[in-house]
Amino acid sequence: MKVSVRNAKDKTLVYLLKLAADSFAKNLMSPQLTKHLSIKIVIRETLDAGGFCDYEIDPAGNPREFNIELLRTRKKINMFKVLAHEMVHVKQHAKGEAKDKFKKDKYITLWFGEKYDDDTSYWDQPWEIEAYGLENSLVAKFLVEHDQFKNLKQKHADWFAEESIKE
């Protein structure tokens, strides 16, 4: 799997985001599938959500090139949570579990063949339920497997600092 990171302001963050994306992919997909994927992670200063995932279709009609946008946050560990969430969406589309369609000016997602339109509440969308359900365990497994939690907590305590509330 090819992973690139844009707009990260330090090399440690770039390294860890690439390592995390690889770890999440290995936990979610087969090596046969991941070797055909390309993930571009872009850090944004402003975004309407914590993150987004979109994709491009290859000539065979499969999504293989994914763009993940992450909102830069002071509490960097949240960026890893959002990355894990978006990597679940990569898995869903790369494996064909979720397929997006436009029909008669209406956005439709096929989830394991069942149709969901844009009238479905965000919190009732099964692909979001799965992504939220897996994000914390993926991050925890990554931090333990790569012995990163202790390292991050000691060297980058600010990554875990609470966000300041803007009034």
Whether 86 maps to a domain, the answer reads yes
Q: Where in 1-74 does DSSP place strands (E)?
A: 2-6, 38-44, 51-57, 63-71
Whether 8 maps to a domain, the answer reads yes
Domain carrying residue 126? 2-156
Whether 164 maps to a domain, the answer reads no
Q: Is the CB of residue 17 less than 8 Å from the CB of residue 83?
A: yes
The reported pLDDT for the residue numbered 144 is 84
**Model pTM score:** 0.88
Q: What are phi and psi of 71, to 5 degrees?
A: -80, 130
Q: For residue 126, give the CATH number of its domain.
A: 3.40.390
Whether 110 maps to a domain, the answer reads yes
The reported pLDDT for the residue numbered 54 is 96
The reported pLDDT for the residue numbered 158 is 59
Query: What is the arithmetic mean of pLDDT over 106-135?
Result: 94
Q: Is the CB of residue 136 less than 8 Å from the CB of residue 81?
A: yes
What secondary structure does DSSP assign to 105-131, as a single string?
TEEEEEETTEEEETTS-GGG-HHHHHH
Split into its structural domains, the chain has a count of 1
